[in-house]
Structure 1
C-alpha cells in the first residue's frame, strides 16, 4: 500500500514526541496484525533518520535519499531485524521460526559507533513476537542501557507475550483495526478489484493485509458452505464435496483460507449461545483452531483435514 490509513492518534503522538525533542529511546507499536504497524515503523524510521523539517503526515518525496538508502539496505544508521530465510540459497523456501540471538548480538558493532549521517540510529524489529528467548534477553540489555542516539522500534501483534521487562522499557503506541471507510480506501489503494472491496472489508476484520490475502478466493462461497455445515450434515455430503474441491493442488490458497475462516465462523456462533450450547461451541472452536494450526505445520492431508473440520462445524447443529 502506498499510503497509511487509520490510527491517526498513534502517528500524531510519535510525530509530537519527535518534533518536541522528547523522543523515547524505545517504542512498541502494538495491535492487530495487518493494520499498518510495520509500514508506519518504516516511515517512522525514515523520519527519525532524516532529521528536522519533515512533514507531519510522514509523506516523502520520490527522490528522498534517506528512504532510497533504507530500501537498498545501505543506510549506515539503520538496521532491521526480522526472520531470515531457512536457507540463504533458497530464499523462497520459507523463513526461520524466530529471530535468533545471533541476529541481536550482531547489532553490537553497529551500536558501538557513532551515527554516520545524523545524530541518531534506528533499530527496527518486525516483529518482536518472533524473538527467541535468548534473543529477547539480549535485546533487553540494549533497552536497559541504550547507546546514545539509538531509537528502537518494536512491532508486536501480541504484546502480552513479550517479556514484561521489554514492555516496561518501551513507550506503547496502540494501533487499532481500521474502520470500514479506511479499509475501503486502503484496499482501493492496494489495487483490489472494486467488485471485491465490500466482500474484502467484511472478511478483513479491520486488517487490509488480511483482506488482501483473501482476494480472489470466493470467501463468500466458503462462508456459505460453512453455514450449510452448521445446520448439520448427517449424510456427510456437504463436507465430502468441500473436501474434494479444496484438496486440489490449485486450491491450496483457498484451502488455507478455509482453515482460517472455520474457527472464526465457530467463534461468531459461540457469541449467540449460552449454557451447554455455548460450552459445546467453545469446545468446537478449540478443536477447529488446533486442527487449523497443525494442518499446515504438519502437512496434513488436505482432503482429510477439510472433512474433519467440516465435522467440527457440523457439530454445532447438535446443540443450539
Structure 2
C-alpha cells in the first residue's frame, strides 16, 4: 500500500520499528480524512510482514503486493490483525453511533491464543473517538497490560476528547494536512476518471484532506462555489440567484449537492471573516454562527430544503452589504 505525504510520520514510526523497542500503543491524531487510517493499515501490514517474512526491502511502510502477508491483509483474512470500526446497524448502510463494548471484548478471543504467523499482532481502532465509554474503559485494561507482541494503532480525529488515561499510555503521532500537490495525487489515485478541472476544484475545497475532498466528487462543487462567491460579492437584489439555487438544490435528486451546500456556506463565510477586521469581522463571525446552526440542524430536523437554501443564501448576501 502506497502512502501519500506524511513523510515525517512514516520516518518516526519506521525509526521506532527499526529500534526493536516499538511502543505498544500509538495514537494517530489529526484532521479527519488526511490518511490516518490508511497509515495504520500500511503500518500494520509492514509490521506483520517483517515479523512473518520473507524480508521486505522496500522503503518506509511499503510492502510488495505479492507478499503473502499483504495478500492476507488485502483479503481481510489475516488472523493476527483485528480492525474495530462502527458496524452497520439493522442490516442497513447506516452505521452505529459508536464502537460497542462487545466489539472491544471480542479482542480477548484473539489474545487467548498464540499468533498464527509470527509473534506479532496488531489491533487498529478507527476511530477511537467512536468508542462508547464502557468500551473505552475495557480497552484501557488492554493498554495497561498489553498482550505480548501486540501493537495498538488508535486513529483519532479529536484526541483531546479521549480519556486522559488512554492518551497517557500511547505514543502520539500527529498528522497534518496534505499539500496541494499531494492532494491532487491522492484524489487522482482514488478516482482516475475525474477530469483535471474537477481535481483542481476538489483540491481547493478539500482543505488538505483527501477524504473531505472526495466527499464532494461529482457534485460540480466549482459551480456551487462560484454561485456562493457571486452572492457574497454582489448580493442578490432581485432574489433571482437565490430562488434559482433554492429550486435546483430543493429537488430530491439533488440531496447530496444540497448537503454539500450546507457544509460549504459556513466555510465560505468563515474564510471571509478571517479577512475582515473590526466591526466587519465581528459581523461576519455572527453570520458564520447563524450559517453553522442552520447547516447543523437542516438534515437532522428535516427542514425544507428550498427555504433553507434561500436563508443560507441570504446570509451570504449580507457579506456583500
TM-score by length of 1: 0.92
Which residues of 2 match residues 160-199 of structure 1 at below 5 A?
Answer: 160-190=160-190, 191=192, 192-199=194-201
- Aligned partner of 1:220 in structure 2 is 222
Contact 1:217 1:253 in 2 (8 A): yes
CA distance in 1, matches of 2:42, 2:159: 21
- Aligned partner of 1:158 in structure 2 is 158
Post-superposition shift, 1:169? 1.1
Which residues of 2 match residues 9-48 of structure 1 at below 5 A?
Answer: 9-48=8-47
Contact 1:3 1:186 in 2 (8 A): no
Post-superposition shift, 1:248? 1.2
Post-superposition shift, 1:64? 2.5
**1:243–1:162: structure 2 CA closer, same or farther, 3 Å change rule?**
same
**Matched position secondary structure for 1:209:** helix
CA distance in 1, matches of 2:106, 2:293: 36
- Aligned partner of 2:80 in structure 1 is 77
- Aligned partner of 2:104 in structure 1 is 104
Contact 2:26 2:171 in 1 (8 A): yes
**Matched position secondary structure for 2:173:** strand
CA distance in 2, matches of 1:299, 1:161: 29
Matched, 1:269 2:240: no
Post-superposition shift, 1:196? 2.1
Q: Deviations over 1:4-38 (max 9, x none)?
A: 21110101111111121021100011111111111
Contact 1:222 1:258 in 2 (8 A): yes
Contact 2:30 2:158 in 1 (8 A): yes
Which residues of 2 match residues 1-320 of structure 1 at below 5 A?
Answer: 3-52=2-51, 53-54=55-56, 55-87=58-90, 89-90=91-92, 92=93, 94-190=94-190, 191=192, 192-230=194-232, 231-318=234-321
**Matched position secondary structure for 1:271:** helix
Contact 1:25 1:150 in 2 (8 A): yes
Contact 2:26 2:152 in 1 (8 A): yes
**Matched position secondary structure for 2:299:** helix
How many residue pairs get aligned? The number is: 314
Q: Deviations over 1:179-225 (max 9, x none)?
A: 12212222222213223222222111111222222223222211122
CA distance in 1, matches of 2:146, 2:201: 46
In structure 2, the gaps of 5 or more residues are: none
CA distance in 2, matches of 1:44, 1:140: 22
**Matched position secondary structure for 1:221:** helix
Post-superposition shift, 1:236? 3.1
**Matched position secondary structure for 2:27:** strand
CA distance in 2, matches of 1:185, 1:223: 22
In structure 1, the gaps of 5 or more residues are: none
CA distance in 2, matches of 1:104, 1:79: 10
Q: CA RMSD in A?
A: 1.8
Contact 2:45 2:63 in 1 (8 A): no
